[in-house]
Chains A and B, each alone.
Chain A
Amino acid sequence: MKNRGKSVFIFLCVAPAVILFTIFMIIPTINIFKMSLYKWGGYSPNKTFVGFDNFEKLAQDMKFLQAFENTVLLIVIVSVITIAVALVFAAILTREKIVGQNFFRIVFYIPNILSIVIISAIFSAILDSKNGLLNSILALFRDKGSEPVYWLGDQKIVIFSIAMAMIWQAIGYYMVMYMASMASVPESVYESADIEGASRIRQFFSLTIPLIWTNIRTTLTFFIISSINLSFMLVKAMTSGGPDGSTEVFLSYMYKQAYTNSSYGYGMAIGVVVFLFSFALSGIVNLITKREPIEL
């Protein structure tokens, strides 16, 4: 009797989530996989089944490959720099005695609560080649009359400008996340390390990082997912993929194809690639970073 009650309870708890999840996420995803096999403009009723045609074209589409490259580049740069900076800051704010510790913690998180629209407005103003904050500061250190840096115009630089905005936005979020897990490391561990004479930097690398490794691993998956998403929104608002396609990323290219180039099926094929790619990449990263958990 008890078991039956338990089953009913579990069913009632889980069913609503499963139903909503199925309707709004699984079925649409299946639809995307289906539509990626069709040629369809988006408005007319004529959908033609073309098999894997869209995928074959994708493999030869230079612009898609550039978008692919840009996305991977952003994922790598943004995660590496953000993790490094966030870890260091988290360690400083949890381990060191800092006046205004709370203030810094609160302020660093603010970029994460801002809408992308606001972030892009801010960075457009910072990166402006003539009146931008960044170039005004740089000008203090450079010869008078030297060429300004075209943060959003130079095709070799612009993708890093996008990365800069993404890192700025993400540091606080991950810092708070790492702080949370660092706080759960018992103080006694550090005390014994102090007695042994290990430096703070040494402690950071051989104690803190191994101890919160599971947490860092988890955030890697977050990075992959959120970089794909965030890079799209920022690019859309800051450069529209330009100049000349140099900041095109996965989803911005997908939108262009699906909605402005009348190639909905082709766009959905890109969607499928993005889904499989992020899934596979997370799997690989998870495997590579697997370590035996440290037992205390």
Chain B
Amino acid sequence: MKKFVSIFLVLALMISSFAGCAKKDETNTGANATPAATSEPAKEEATETPKPDVTIKVAAIETAYGADMWTKVCAAFTAKTGIKVELTTDKSLEDVIGAGMKAGDYPDVVHLATGRPAALTETLIKENGLEDITDVLSMTVPGEDKKVSDKIAGGFTESSLTNPYNDGKTYMAPMFYSPCGLFFNKGLFAEKGWTVPTTWDEMWELGDKAKADGIALFAYPTAGYFDAFFYALLYEVGGADFFQKATTYADGIWDTAEANKAFDIVEKLASYTEKSVPSNANNDNYLKNQQLILDNKALFMPNGTWVVGEMKDAPRADGFEWGFTALPAIAKGGDAYSYTWFEQLWVPAAAENKDAAKQFVAYMYSDEAAQIFAESGAIQPIVGFADKLEGDNKMFYSIYDNGAKAALGSFAATDPVEGVNFADTVFGTVNSLVSGDKTKAQWIELVKKDSDLLRAALKQ
């Protein structure tokens, strides 16, 4: 084999020189950057000792907020600390950095949320590939005199979305939060004289009324959007304690009355769902499902605040106006929940410039950075920041002031279990409920089976 390899090397070199073009100079993978100091992470001194000769590589997913804000924030960070930033943004960041990471070429900071189809972040969690950034919380925000932990709004660094191993250590920094709930056309409700339901019973009543008018009660972009919906529902049926048990796959949890209530609601909702939804419930066609709301073909869809930007060019019914509500409560006077979706920023364990990377993480919570992000519509989870918002965003972010409770968290990370993708099992099956290919009982069976397998693989 060795011989073959060397023959091949020669051959390949010959071909390239024959073609007269060895590729243009490769991006030198951090070879010119000074290696990170081996000392303890600089805590208080962090802001006072800029390292001007360091360049960190930042990779950020480009979402509906656009890529410009990242360019601006990185420039502002360099101006503040002297640390240079090499920024990569892409709509499909996994494809861009995933290959390089396999090659051992890691960015220093990555902004990429969990819950994406490619599941790169989840893979690194499962593989213990994230750096512990708990110490960032006690760092001072660059350019300010407050500690990071004093600026991040309450609850955001306590769920499994930032502390995936439930060990009190933070591995991912919370970014750009967005309340998730049900979106609807306010104009249509005014026109028909309907009120937004506050309990599920009122919801079904409205569903029957709408059906008479030829409007479906419900639509969803893809089954994956049930994550935020289902998490909030778990909180509604059983509160925080139940949520904790369910998301850590507690034995027998799916047989409880609370769980059954949640399954019931989803099953019933499936029967009220517009029939064409599963046809388009994939990454290429989901906009058609969102369009149902704008065309008054369906009343509600679960979504996040980004949907407004996503559909800004789409045609809409006359008098259309975005409305947004938390999930209806189980019973009159019960708690209504809205899931707080947020994105995550993390430092790979294999990053080269961890100290500088952590300063970058801390800088994300400065007023300066938050302001730049907010101009593009991305809202940082900073204490009191939502009060300064205007327009649509003011309505969206005030949902928690109007009585809805915030639901936070997600299914706990496990070691990889071959053949088991819990999101597909719990959420993906909704497509089959709508089309009638699976029953509620079959769904629960699948959930229980996978839950058992995942419990055995839970991270210690």
Contact = CB atoms under 8 A, between A and B. Distances in A.
Interface of A: 16, 19, 22-23, 27, 39, 41-44, 46, 54, 57-58, 61, 63-64, 120, 124, 128-130, 147-148, 150-156, 237-240, 242-246, 256-257, 259-263, 266
B412 interface: no
B419 A57 contact: yes
Contact of B429 (A43, A57, A244): A244
Interface string B122-136: 111011110000000
Q: Which of B8, B123, B126 has the most CB of A within 10 A?
A: B123
B415 to A, nearest CB: 9
B428 interface: yes
A220 B200 CA distance: 56
Interface stretch (B59-67, B229-237, B272-280, B338-346): B272-280
Given A23-B8, A245-B424, A240 B282 contact: yes
B283 A240 contact: yes
B437 A262 contact: no
Given A153-B277, A259-B118, A242 B428 contact: yes
Contacts of A150: 275-276, 278-279, 435
Contacts of A19: 4, 7-8, 11
B288 interface: yes
B387 interface: no
B190 interface: no
B112 interface: no
B5 interface: yes
Contacts of B128: 44
Interface string B412-456: 000011111100100011111001011000000000000000000
25 contacts: A41-B126, A43-B102, A44-B127, A64-B419, A150-B275, A150-B278, A152-B280, A153-B275, A153-B277, A153-B279, A155-B432, A240-B117, A240-B282, A240-B283, A242-B281, A242-B428, A243-B223, A244-B429, A244-B437, A244-B438, A245-B424, A261-B419, A261-B421, A262-B122, A262-B123
Contacts of A261: 119, 416-421
A152 B283 CA distance: 13
Contact of A242 (B123, B124, B431): B431
B375 interface: no
B123 A243 contact: no
A242 B418 contact: no
Contacts of A259: 118-119
Interface of B: 1, 4-5, 7-8, 11, 101-102, 117-119, 122-124, 126-129, 223, 275-285, 288, 416-421, 424, 428-432, 435, 437-438
Interface of A is mostly: loop
Contact of A61 (B7, B277, B278, B418): B418
A50 B414 CA distance: 19
B124 A43 contact: yes
Contacts of A243: 223, 278-279, 281-282, 431-432, 435
A26 B297 CA distance: 55
Nearest to A130: B276
B416 to A, nearest CB: 4
B457 to A, nearest CB: 11
Given A41-B127, A43-B124, A150-B275, A124 B119 contact: no
Given A150-B276, A244-B428, A262 B119 contact: yes
A128 B416 CA distance: 36
Contacts of A42: 102, 123, 127
B282 to A, nearest CB: 4
A145 to B, nearest CB: 10
A155 B435 contact: yes
Contact of A245 (B123, B129, B283, B428): B428
Contacts of B122: 262
Contacts of A130: 276, 288
B427 to A, nearest CB: 10
Nearest to B350: A43
A243 B435 CA distance: 9
A43 B281 contact: no
B276 A148 contact: yes
B100 to A, nearest CB: 11
Nearest to B297: A130
A266 to B, nearest CB: 4
